[in-house]
Amino acid sequence: MRKALLSVLLILLIILIVLFMKNGLSLGSFQIYGFQSISNKNDELTKAISNANSENDRYTSALSKIETDVESLAEAKKRYLDLIAQSSESEIKDATQTKTYTIEYLWSKIGNHATKEGITLKMEVASSTLNDQDYKNLNFTVDGEYLAIVQFIYDLENDSDLDFIAENFNMTSKHATFTVKDVKIQRELTNQSQSSSDDDEPSEDETNTRNENVNENKTVNAISDNSVNNENVVSED
C-alpha cells in the first residue's frame, strides 16, 4: 500500500514538474519562466539585437558620409580663402554671385531648410566688405543637434537657388555660427520710392535760380511796357 501511494505521489510530482517547465510558475513578484516563455524571450532579444545592429550600421554610414562632407567642405573653404587672399577687391566683386534676392525670398528658402532639419535659426543682415550697398553679409546662429546642424549647412551650400558658401565656422555639439559673405539683396521698394521722391524735389539752389529767372522775366516785361507807353506819348505829341 505504501509503495503504491509513493508511486502515485511520484507520478503527480513528475506531472507538476513537467507543467512548471512548460508553463512556468508565478507567485506574486516571484516568477519562473517555462520553456515556451524562455523561447519567446530569446526570439524578442534576438530581434532587438538585430534591429540595434541595423541602426548602428545606418548611423555609422551616415556619420562617415557627414565626416567626408565636412572634410570636402573644409578643403573647398581653404581653396576659396586662399583665392580671396590673392585677389583684388574688383576681382572678388566680379567673382561673386550675380543672383539678386529679396529678403523675403531668402527667409522662405532658408527657413524651409531649417524646418526640415529641426533646428532653431537666427539670421542677421550685415554690411559687406565690398564697397557696394547691394551686397550684404548674412550672419547665422544655429541651435540643434550636431548632425542636424551639419546637414543644414550642407543643404544651404548645395541649394542651386542660393549659391551660398559658409565661412567663419564656430561650432560646438549643439550650437554653431557662420557667415555667408557678399550676397546681393534687392533694396526695398519703399526705399527706392522714397529716394525717387527725394530726387524729384528741387534743391535750394535750383529754387533760388528759378525765382531769379521769374524776377528777371518780370523786370523785362515791366521795361517793355514802359517803352510802349513812352512811344504812345511821343506819337500823340
Least confident window among 52-66, 71-85, 174-188: 71-85
Q: Which amino acid is at 129?
A: T
Rounded Cα distance, 9 and 80, in Å: 90
Rounded Cα distance, 235 and 228, in Å: 11
Q: How confident is the model at residue 220 (pLDDT cuts 50, 70, 90)?
A: very low
For residue 112, what pLDDT is reported?
94
Say what the pTM is: 0.44
Q: How confident is the model at residue 116 (pLDDT cuts 50, 70, 90)?
A: very high
For residue 89, what pLDDT is reported?
58
2-41: pLDDT as tens digits: 777 777 778 877 877 777 666 666 666 766 666 777 777 7
For residue 232, what pLDDT is reported?
43
Write the DSSP string, 4-51: HHHHHHHHHHHHHHHHHHHH-EEETTEEE--HHHHHHHHHHHHHHHHH
69-110: pLDDT as tens digits: 778 877 877 777 777 666 665 665 555 556 788 999 999 999
H or E element, residue 161: none
Confidence check: pLDDT of 226 > 70 = no
- The DSSP secondary-structure symbol of 132 reads -
Write the DSSP string, 71-89: HHHHHHHHHHHHHHHTS-H
Q: Are strands 175-185 and 30-32 parallel, antiparallel or unpaired?
A: unpaired
For residue 20, what pLDDT is reported?
67
Work out the angle at residue 176's Cα, subtended by the Cα atoms of residues 172 and 178, and round it to the nearest 5 degrees. 135
The strand pairing partners of 170, in sequence order, are 177
Residues 163-174 have a mean pLDDT of 86
Cell numbers given for 116: 526640415
For residue 229, what pLDDT is reported?
45
For residue 72, what pLDDT is reported?
80
CB atoms within 10 A of CB 80: 13
Q: Which CATH number fits domain 63-189: 3.40.640.10, 3.30.870.10, 3.40.50.1000, 3.30.70.60?
A: 3.30.70.60
For residue 54, what pLDDT is reported?
87
At 90, give phi and psi (nearest 5°): -65, -40
More confident residue, 205 or 111: 111
Rounded Cα distance, 156 and 10, in Å: 78
For residue 107, what pLDDT is reported?
92
Mapped onto helix, strand or coil, the DSSP state of residue 120 is strand
119-128: pLDDT as tens digits: 999 999 998 8
